[in-house]
Amino acid sequence: MSTASSPIKVIVHGAAGRVGAEVVRAVHGASGMTLAGAVDRIAQADVPPLPDGVPYYTDVRQALEHASPDVIVDFSVASASLPMLPIAIGAGARPVIGTTGFSDEQVSYIDALCREHKLGGVLAPNFAIGAVLLAKLAAIAAPYFDYADIAEEHHEAKIDAPSGTALGLARALHEAHPERFSRNEPEREPLAGTRGGDYEGITIHSGRMPGRMAHHQVTFGGPGQTLTLRHDTIDRQCYMPGVLLAIRKVGELEGLTVGLDKLMGI
Ligand SMILES: NC(=O)c1ccc[n+]([C@@H]2O[C@H](COP(=O)([O-])OP(=O)(O)OC[C@H]3O[C@@H](n4cnc5c(N)ncnc54)[C@H](O)[C@@H]3O)[C@@H](O)[C@H]2O)c1
């Protein structure tokens, strides 16, 4: 890894994607690191222009060979990350992974790869610092209330419902409130599904339509009061402070750290 005088060398895998392109801009503009390459499977002609002098690769092996990066940031798809990671980690690049969709076994496999090569890695299902704080704040509140609702809203193209973040929030609430939350079950349900999903008594509602990005709201209820906590993602820039934090910290780690909260010390 870099020293005080040498910047951290970073390459971005999935660099032509919506988040990857944002990471390219953020790393290029950040202090203490240098963007040593951008990798994606699509032809360079179809990729928005890269910052001057940043090489583009469609082959990750070539990128690793030419750039010898300290860190590889990955925002692609799990089916592309899984074959890429042993190559990158084997070449000494510490992974900072934003890609979602890994099974528990696959996460353990990535951890084992990092440990085998005595490297750190970071995998964060959500790099938005505000979303991580929402989960922490909600977990603090959970033991004090008997009712909890999660309402999440996303764009119309999202393939899953509820969102992984909403499920993660529900798990965090249940951990902090091990008894099932109270939940009203209607005596009559003229329209099926209207009460939403049920995770240990936590009701989850998912809204999907254009004009939205990613929004999560947790509402707690008790006699005479409610408490509402909400996080809104309105631009993919929201992930960048978390990604830059992970790039700066990954050199101090050994094995795979899962979750940005661990790096934030909360
Ligand atoms: N952790 C977080 O905070 C966070 C936030 C947003 C999105 N995500 C996740 O990040 C990933 C990317 O999201 P996106 O919205 O940028 O998607 P996207 O489809 O815009 O970008 C994915 C990129 O990966 C590239 N890619 C696919 N297969 C490849 C391969 N074999 N080799 C090289 N590149 C390949 C694609 O060409 C594309 O440019 C998804 O898994 C998404 O769920 C995570």
The Cα–Cα gap between 55 and 35 comes to: 9
Q: Which residues contact 208 (CB under 8 A, 6 or more apart)?
A: 153, 154, 155, 156, 158, 161
pLDDT of 48 reads 87
The Å distance, Cα 79 to ligand 1 centre, comes to 10
Q: 242 CB less than 6 Å from ligand 1? A: no
Strand order in the sheet with 94-97: 56-57, 33-39, 8-13, 71-74, 94-97, 120-123, 255-258
Q: What is the pTM of this model?
A: 0.91
Query: Which numbered atom of ligand 1 lies nearest the CA of 101?
Result: 41
Q: What is the pLDDT of residues 15-43, one digit of tens each?
A: 999 999 999 999 999 999 999 999 999 99
pLDDT of 4 reads 59
CATH number of 8-123+237-264: 3.40.50.720
Active site residues: 154, 158
Q: 57 CB less than 6 Å from ligand 1? A: no
Among the listed residues 50, 57, 43, 116, the one whose alpha carbon sits nearest the alpha carbon of residue 85: 116
Confirm if 14 and 3 have CB atoms less than 8 A apart.
no
Q: In this structure, which amino acid lies at residue 7?
A: P
Q: 41 CB less than 6 Å from ligand 1? A: yes
- Every domain of the chain with CATH number 3.30.360.10 lies at 129-234
Query: Which numbered atom of ligand 1 lies nearest the CA of 42?
Result: 37
CATH number of 129-234: 3.30.360.10
pLDDT of 159 reads 83
DSSP conformational letter for 112: H
Residue whose CA lies nearest to ligand 1 atom number 38: 17
pLDDT of 206 reads 97
Answer whether residue 2 shows pLDDT above 70.
Answer: no
- Every domain of the chain with CATH number 3.40.50.720 lies at 8-123+237-264
